[in-house]
């Protein structure tokens, strides 16, 4: 506030107000945003892939057991 002490009330209010300011871009760009978002997206994709593979493995295991039961169902036991 000491920097504004030399100005009148109207000038100080104008300088502290939002009017007249240049539009400033943020201090980061697309590269920085990508670096921050990539690990989160990677974890989400990895988790989704694990769930899909796990579900498919369950279905495949059930199908294999069913096929083996059908294959060995008609044979007599020794």
Tell me the two tokens of residue 34. Answer: 């990508």
Give SS3 for 28: coil
49 domain residue, yes or no: yes
Residues written for the chain: 78
Q: How many Å is the Cα radius of gyration of the chain?
A: 34
Q: Indicate whether 32 belongs to any domain.
A: yes
The answer as to whether 74 is a domain residue is yes
Q: Let me know if residue 23 belongs to a domain.
A: no
Does residue 11 lie in a domain region?
Answer: no
**Does pTM surpass 0.75?**
no
- Total domains in the chain come to 1
Enclosing domain of residue 43: 28-78
pLDDT digits (tens, 9 = 90+) for 50-63: 999 998 888 888 88
Residues 24 and 18: beta-carbon distance below 8 Å: no
Q: Report the pLDDT value the prediction gives residue 40, as an integer from 0 to 100.
A: 95
CA distances from 54 to 44, 50, 66, 67 (A): 15, 6, 18, 20
């Amino acid at each position: 506030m000491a920097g504004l002490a030399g100005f009148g009330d109207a000038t100080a209010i104008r300088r502290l107000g939002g009017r007249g300011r240049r539009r400033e871009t943020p201090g980061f760009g697309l590269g920085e945003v990508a670096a921050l978002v990539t690990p989160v997206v990677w974890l989400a994709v990895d988790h989704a892939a694990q769930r899909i593979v796990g579900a498919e493995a369950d279905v495949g295991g059930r199908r294999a057991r069913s096929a083996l039961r059908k294959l060995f169902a008609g044979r007599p036991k020794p």
